[in-house]
Amino acid sequence: MGNSIKNNLKEIKVSSKTENLSKIRDFVGANASTAGVSQSTVENIVLAVDEACTNIIKHAYKSSPDGEIIIQIEYDESRLTITIIDYGKSFEPERIPQPDLRKYYNERKVGGLGMYLMKSLMDDVKYTSIPGKYNQVLLSKNLRGS
Amino acid sequence: MAEFNTSISEKGDVNVINLKGYLDAHTAPALENNFTQLIENNKFKIVVNFQNLAYISSAGLGVFMAYIENIRENKGDIKLTNMSDKVFNIFDLLGFPLLYEIYKSEEEAINKFGAI
C-alpha cells in the first residue's frame, strides 16, 4: 500500500470579471507551489487555469460580471487536479477546432489559442457540460517526474 | 488586481512600446489602445520591449495578432525584443516565431527597420 495522502482540497469562488484573473492566478500559484513541483510547472498550471477562466468569462458568461466561477485544487503524490465550475452557457469543446496559426493570422482571429495552450501545458484537460446546470473543466498534471 | 502598464518612446521613426507587469484578458485593452493610437498617427514601425513583462496569456498574444496585418499593409512591422525565457516559451508554443521577428535587444530590432 502506497501512502497516498490526499491533500486537503482548496477552493476559491470569484465572480466572472477579468479583474479577478490575478486573484485566481495567485490562488493557484500559492497552492500548486505546495505540491513540490518546479517553478516552471507551477507557472504552466497558473497559465492553463487563467486560459480556462478567461474562456468562461468571455464565452460561458459572455462577459457578464455576475456569474460565479469556482476553482478547486487538490493533489496527491502522483497527480495535481484543478476543477473549474461555472453556471454559464454550456460549452462544446469538439466545436473548437485545433488552431492553425497561419489561418488565425490571415483572419485575425485568436479564439482557440487558449484551449490549445491549456492542452499543451497540462497532461489532461476534460470538459463536462450539463446544459442548464453547470460546466466543469478538469485540468490535471502528473506530478511524478515533473 | 493585475498590475500592467505601458510606455511609448520614440527612437527616430520607430516607436517602442515598453510592457510592464501582467498582460492578460483584463489588461490587454491597455495595449490595444497603444496600437490603435500609433496606427491613427500613422506610426507603423513598432518595437515591443518585453523586458519588464512578468506574464502573458493568450489574450495578450491576441493583441499582436489583431494589429499585425494592418501594420504590415502599411509597410510597417511589429518586432518583439527582450523576452524572458518564460514568455518566449509561450510565444514559441503557439508558433509565433514564424510570424514575428523576435530579437534579443531593442537596438537590434530598431536597426532592422533601418535595414529594410
Higher-confidence residue of A99 and A63: namely A63
The mean-pLDDT minimum among A3-7, A65-69, A95-99, B51-55 falls in A3-7
| d(C-alpha A100, C-alpha A30), whole Å | 34
Quick one: what percent of chain A has pLDDT higher than 90?
Answer: 67
The grid coordinates of residue A60 equal: 460561458
**ipTM, 2 decimals?**
0.93
Higher-confidence residue of B104 and A107: namely B104
| pLDDT over 60 (residue A139) | yes
A52 and A72 Cβ atoms separated by less than 8 Å: no
| d(C-alpha B66, C-alpha B37), whole Å | 14
The mean-pLDDT minimum among B42-51, B62-71, B75-84 falls in B62-71
State in words which class domain B4-111 has: alpha beta
What band does A3 get if pLDDT is binned at 50, 70 and 90?
very low
| pLDDT over 90 (residue B17) | yes
CATH number of A10-142: 3.30.565.10
Residue extents of the structural domains in chain A: 10-142
Q: Which residue numbers of A have CB closer than 8 Å to B's CBs?
A: 17-19, 21-22, 25, 40, 43, 47, 50-51, 54, 57-58, 99, 101-102, 104-106, 108-110, 113-114, 116-117, 120-121
